[in-house]
Homo-oligomer: A and B are copies of this chain.
């Protein structure tokens, strides 16, 4: 099966004229409005739920692109009220503001500057939702965004939304969308939901399988899976907002994924579409598992490129092995999955977390939600994948010992990460021991094991057997 080639898209900046910019963007917006049945005078309502770095950037990019077309689209973001900005962060924020002339001018013009002076001096407590209105995301203070419409009441935010962007960590997705479903009881139209969440959970009964954020949303709200899509790809949110060239992939049913890919695409943010929702969403979670280990290795070996490559060889072979359990045609994931892994290992929150643990600057007792960084999704994903792959009902043949073993026995890095992060019986340094175990197989052997047997278990992703 061929994926569809993207048709040539007219570049909004190709002739540099304002008219073309307006015409092209408005045209894309109109197409989406038409598809959703919006008539004149009835704006398309897009809501970002959750204000982590990527959720905030995503919403801000939409606001910047389409916010000028006020009669046709309204964009807002929900976050919980009450989160305070501590003194050190307020000081840093003040420095950021004063170092950016454009930001400083904007705040002065909107009569919104003096509260930051007061925050800097400790005379006033700032809150995350109020600074977000001015474009400051608590997890990404160094990268000011455009001003956003921030709503702290969930019902008010989502009750009439046409498109909801799930920017929550997976660990909060079910809870928040269960609340959202109360407000949607009497809805007539069915909204479209795009999820950015990368974490996963494992469900062990009646049979072991992975629960993805899109499935959580489907279960919580009853919105058909056809209307729920996953947007994945490597993303360093601040770089994407700063117009670094990036690729992403929107996965889901054909009805929505193509028009949404077109709508979301920008000159520096290319969005491809793909029909395989579940596998891409799961792989998005899997790479975060190994990103934590990569950070540990980088810190413990003082950024040794050679040690990083040893780690990469082993973790990619484990990931490939796991994809053979989860996907019917896993080879198709090899390139994109590993490329996403590349950036996740190189720079990202999960790798950063692994580095901090290894340097002793963070400890496990502090939990996996870090101030200034957000939720480290890889931690819960380690638990999910480990528990899933430990089930004896999934046993595979270990070719060395010629006996049946749980799949996790062939994934020494995953096992070690579980011991370090979850049951905490091993120190961070143990990740190096796992790598340097002379009895560890050539990672190519693991790939050959995966490819020489039929391992695919449709039930793991809830597919019909």
Interface residues of A (CB under 8 A from B): 1-3, 5-6, 8-9, 11, 234-237, 239-241, 244-250, 267-275, 301-302, 304-314, 316-318, 320-321, 329-344, 346-349, 399-401, 432-433, 435-453
Contacts and interface: CB of A to CB of B under 8 A. Distances in A.
A402 to B, nearest CB: 10
Given A436-B246, A450-B2, A336 B445 contact: yes
A295 to B, nearest CB: 10
B2 A342 contact: no
30 contacts: A1-B452, A1-B453, A2-B399, A2-B400, A2-B445, A2-B446, A3-B442, A3-B444, A3-B448, A3-B449, A5-B399, A239-B307, A245-B304, A245-B307, A246-B307, A250-B444, A268-B438, A275-B442, A305-B348, A306-B346, A306-B347, A312-B340, A312-B343, A313-B342, A316-B339, A318-B335, A318-B336, A321-B334, A331-B332, A336-B448
Contacts of A338: 313, 317, 335, 339
A3 B343 CA distance: 27
A319 to B, nearest CB: 8
Contacts of A234: 306-307, 310
A307 B347 CA distance: 9
B5 A306 contact: no
A438 B262 CA distance: 13
B336 A313 contact: yes
Contacts of A249: 443, 445
Contacts of A245: 301-302, 304, 306-308, 311, 433, 436-437
